[in-house]
Structure 1
Amino acid sequence: MKDKIYEKINNVENLKDRALLKELLSEVFIELYEHSENMYSSLENRVFDEIEYTQQNYSVYTSIVKKQDFDPIHYFLHPMLEEDIKDKEYDLKNILDTIIENKQVNMFKVFLNCDYLIFKDILESDMKFKGNIKTNKNVYKAYFKIKTNTQYKNQIYRLYQMFIKNNIPWTTINSPYISRIVDVVLIECEEGIEKDEIIQEVNVDFADVGKYIEYDMVPTWNIQKLTLKSTGFPMPCEDRINFEHIVSIKNEGVDNGYLVVYDNEDINHIRHTKDNLMITGEIEEARDWDIFKILKIKESKLDKYSYELVSNSKKVSFIEKLSNKNKVNIKTKAELIRTINSFEVSKYVEFKDIKIVNITDDLKEETYDMNSFIIDEIRDQDYSKKLILYFTLKENDCFIIRDLLSFIVSQIQLNYPEYKCEGRLI
């Protein structure tokens, strides 16, 4: 471009006009041209620096472990709730005030090691269990019930919100163990207990259900909560309204997945580069940022899990990469089978058949929706048809097999919103 300009200038025969034109172009046009070139080059670099989404970097692994066996320095797994690794303390005053108001009090959590259908029957039976509360002064009779715990589901919902806000595609979290966590609630207590007493033990006789009960269990996942500082000062954007904040992830490991955690509306865009998170918003001052770090799994000979480590990870293949890139929802049986077999968890079950039936089909449901917190305001929830997926076991039956099936069906449900999807073992 510059060569053409100089060629045109040299073709001007009048020397005074040539000098004037040369001075004008040198001071104005060339400066403008170079500025445009630099800005275009900068934009090009920003586009190419932004890394492509890689599903493996955002694969979530889950398991469960006894509190006494939990490793606080484990490189990979962290508790879903920090309170699970702390000693339980009871506020007797609050418990008594709640009982007086005829309200139930959450005392502690237990894990039921049983099949989903058995667990479902136990919950639906609404059984009442005898027990006692031992204080530093006396032992008091009490009655308890169990109810579904929602804390872990809320954690996954929080994670879902951050995936959406960070423009990262959502994949159902394979979380079979949290569905078996229940709250043990106090519904009645013998009179005479004083507010200044200290609770030492809470004992519950779970009767026939007791064979499934496990205490002090800690659901875990490969998500670590971090606080990272901005690198340098925020750079003002060209619109003079927004600022770009740079958060370095180089020291944390560039192979992991990262999500910026926020609730306000001051952040407009988040970009991921190889070494940084680029956060654009109306925030003028440098600040600390809350981050979800999704740790990438590593092979270790020292790792031993009491309960199966499961994930929503997919098998790496050319077709899977192409599907992720194009984001086209192809509704054929072949694509349905490909989607099912793309998940690592497909090693447990084998797809056999598919049927579309009336919603009035009253056979007992064997699966549940792991994405029930997603509210789709466009889709009509009054389904007219069910999409039933039939599977057989590939390996020996395990107590979470219907939960693993629920994970697969929940992901299929996202692709087939017009049906109510269910899974069944044959």
Structure 2
Amino acid sequence: MKDILLDRLNRIEDLEQRKLLKQIVTGVFLNLVEYQEDLNRKLEERVFNEVEDQEDRHDIYVTLCAREEIDPIHEFLYPMLAADTEPKTCDLRSVTEQMQRGEEALLMTLFLQCDYSKLKELLRGKRTFRGEIVTTGGTRSIQVRLRQNLTYIRELEKLYFIFQKNNVPWKTVNHPYAGKFFDVLWTGGEQPTSAEEELLEVRIFLEEFEAYKKLDMVPMWNIERLELKNVGFPVPAADRINFEHVLSLRKTGTQHGYLVDGDEALIRYIKRMPEELNIVSPQDKSGNWNVLKITQPTPTKLGRLAYELVSNKRKSSFTGRFSRKHPVVVRAKGEIARIAGSFEASDDLELVQVEIRDEADGEEVTYGMNPFISDNVRVENDKKRMRLRFRARRSESFILQDLMSFVVSEIQMYFPEYVCEGEWA
């Protein structure tokens, strides 16, 4: 703009007119031009200073740990539920009252350390087992059944909606342990004769599942819940309607991923800066914000994990980065093989065949890890089956079918017009 004005001035031959116009331009228009250029520069800085979300900052790592072995000062692993750190107790009086009303009563929750195909029978039916309760009044025989505990699957569902509120792309959480927890329900048998009896012990005999039974197990992941307060006072946003709330990340670590958990009506937009989070919200007062810190894993030389640490981390490759920059689904078997092999969790699996079928045959050994994501466009019964056959590169792990389920669930998100299933080749 300054060059245009200078060119126009130089074309005026009358020096008096040129001098007068130069004074007018210098006093009015140049200040306006400089003001506009300054605003454009500030806007450009804000745009380029916003940190591009790096996918690996939101990778979720999970494992399993015995309650008594939880490290409260672990570098990056935390219990999925804080309540799991406390021992679970069973109130015999309330349980007995439920039984007297003809209801099933929860006695405990256990973990079954076996693969998915062995758990199918428990998931489909209401098989009962023999048990005993030991009280101050003696030992009584009872009858129990197992019901899948959905507590940790619901936590993954909550995490999914938090990702949506933060406009962060969802990637299936590879949690092979979440679906292997079962509630032990007291369905019948002898009951305590006195209300004063105290429960001493519960014994459950699971027949062929007895060898897989584990008590007091706690799922762990790399998500820490924080409560962060505004830095200073909220300032009006550019729209003059909302306000910007700044949360400093210097103390908690700028290398980690962060998600804001709050009322969706109070969050208009969230942008990540190098050392802070900016929340644009209609809320005009300072306050505390609930934030999920997705901690980056760090190698530790002390101790080791009893159960395998797995994640939904993708392998670093040019084709992977290019496909994420240009998200076009290529409907070819080569693209399916690329997706299946793009995760670190797929190192133990090899995709060998893809087959399209009209109907299910019950031979699949996988399950959907995103049951909370629904397809409101297509009817499930009208979809064809995409059968993915894998070959295992190792055989000693009880979570191989769960790792396969994770890979199949990710492929399902790319091909929603099919029902994706996995089986062994």
1:381 counterpart residue number:
380
Change (3 A) 1:26 1:86: same
Change (3 A) 1:226 1:194: farther
Q: Give the whole-Å Cα distance in 2 for the aligned partners of 1:213 and 1:234.
A: 53
What CA deviation, in whole Å up to 9, does each residue of 1:22-52 have, x standing for no partner? 5654554333322221221121111111222
Are the counterparts in 2 of residues 110 and 217 from structure 1 also a CA contact under 8 Å? yes
Q: Give the whole-Å Cα distance in 2 for the aligned partners of 1:275 and 1:12.
A: 56
1:242 counterpart residue number:
242
1:341 counterpart residue number:
341
Shift of 1:102: 2.3
Shift of 1:405: 0.4
Are the counterparts in 2 of residues 383 and 418 from structure 1 also a CA contact under 8 Å? no
Q: Give the whole-Å Cα distance in 1 for the aligned partners of 2:162 and 2:4.
A: 52
1:55 counterpart residue number:
55
Q: Give the whole-Å Cα distance in 1 for the aligned partners of 2:53 and 2:332.
A: 26
1:293 counterpart residue number:
293
Are the counterparts in 1 of residues 122 and 146 from structure 2 also a CA contact under 8 Å? no
2:322 counterpart residue number:
322
2:74 counterpart residue number:
74
Amino acid corresponding to residue 155 of structure 1 in structure 2: E
1:414 counterpart residue number:
413
> Percent identity, aligned pairs only?
36
Partner SS state of residue 421, structure 2: strand
Are the counterparts in 1 of residues 9 and 18 from structure 2 also a CA contact under 8 Å? no
Q: Give the whole-Å Cα distance in 2 for the aligned partners of 1:100 and 1:123.
A: 27
Are the counterparts in 1 of residues 259 and 293 from structure 2 also a CA contact under 8 Å? yes
1:251 counterpart residue number:
251
2:44 counterpart residue number:
44
Q: Give the whole-Å Cα distance in 1 for the aligned partners of 2:236 and 2:101.
A: 55
1:213 counterpart residue number:
213
2:400 counterpart residue number:
401
Aligned length: 424
Q: Give the whole-Å Cα distance in 2 for the aligned partners of 1:308 and 1:163.
A: 25
1:369 counterpart residue number:
368
TM-score, scaled to structure 2: 0.93
Partner SS state of residue 252, structure 1: coil
Are the counterparts in 2 of residues 383 and 420 from structure 1 also a CA contact under 8 Å? no
2:99 counterpart residue number:
99
2:201 counterpart residue number:
201
1:424 counterpart residue number:
423
Q: Give the whole-Å Cα distance in 2 for the aligned partners of 1:94 and 1:322.
A: 58
1:113 counterpart residue number:
113
Change (3 A) 1:23 1:116: same
Q: Give the whole-Å Cα distance in 2 for the aligned partners of 1:263 and 1:91.
A: 35
What CA deviation, in whole Å up to 9, does each residue of 1:335-385 have, x standing for no partner? 1111111111121011101100112x3232210000111122223222331
Are the counterparts in 2 of residues 228 and 288 from structure 1 also a CA contact under 8 Å? yes
Amino acid corresponding to residue 385 of structure 1 in structure 2: K
Shift of 1:149: 0.7
Shift of 1:124: 3.1
Q: Give the whole-Å Cα distance in 1 for the aligned partners of 2:193 and 2:255.
A: 56
Shift of 1:2: 3.5
Q: Give the whole-Å Cα distance in 2 for the aligned partners of 1:244 and 1:218.
A: 38
Partner SS state of residue 382, structure 1: helix
Amino acid corresponding to residue 314 of structure 1 in structure 2: R
Amino acid corresponding to residue 268 of structure 1 in structure 2: R
Are the counterparts in 1 of residues 241 and 282 from structure 2 also a CA contact under 8 Å? yes
Q: Give the whole-Å Cα distance in 1 for the aligned partners of 2:364 and 2:313.
A: 26
2:172 counterpart residue number:
172
1:392 counterpart residue number:
391
Are the counterparts in 1 of residues 145 and 187 from structure 2 also a CA contact under 8 Å? yes
- Give 5+ residue unaligned stretches, structure 1: none
Are the counterparts in 1 of residues 84 and 218 from structure 2 also a CA contact under 8 Å? yes
Shift of 1:92: 3.8
What CA deviation, in whole Å up to 9, does each residue of 1:151-170 have, x standing for no partner? 00000011111111111111
Write the mapping of 1:223-234 to structure 2, written as runs, cut at 5 A: 223-234=223-234
Q: Give the whole-Å Cα distance in 2 for the aligned partners of 1:340 and 1:350.
A: 8
Are the counterparts in 2 of residues 12 and 18 from structure 1 also a CA contact under 8 Å? no
What CA deviation, in whole Å up to 9, does each residue of 1:66-116 have, x standing for no partner? 112221111111111222221112334432343333222222211111121
Q: Give the whole-Å Cα distance in 2 for the aligned partners of 1:128 and 1:221.
A: 33
Shift of 1:387: 0.3
Are the counterparts in 2 of residues 409 and 422 from structure 1 also a CA contact under 8 Å? yes
Are the counterparts in 1 of residues 235 and 245 from structure 2 also a CA contact under 8 Å? yes
Partner SS state of residue 330, structure 1: coil
Q: Give the whole-Å Cα distance in 2 for the aligned partners of 1:46 and 1:197.
A: 68
2:331 counterpart residue number:
331
What CA RMSD, in Å, does the superposition of the two structures yield over aligned residues?
Answer: 2.2
Q: Give the whole-Å Cα distance in 1 for the aligned partners of 2:297 and 2:210.
A: 35
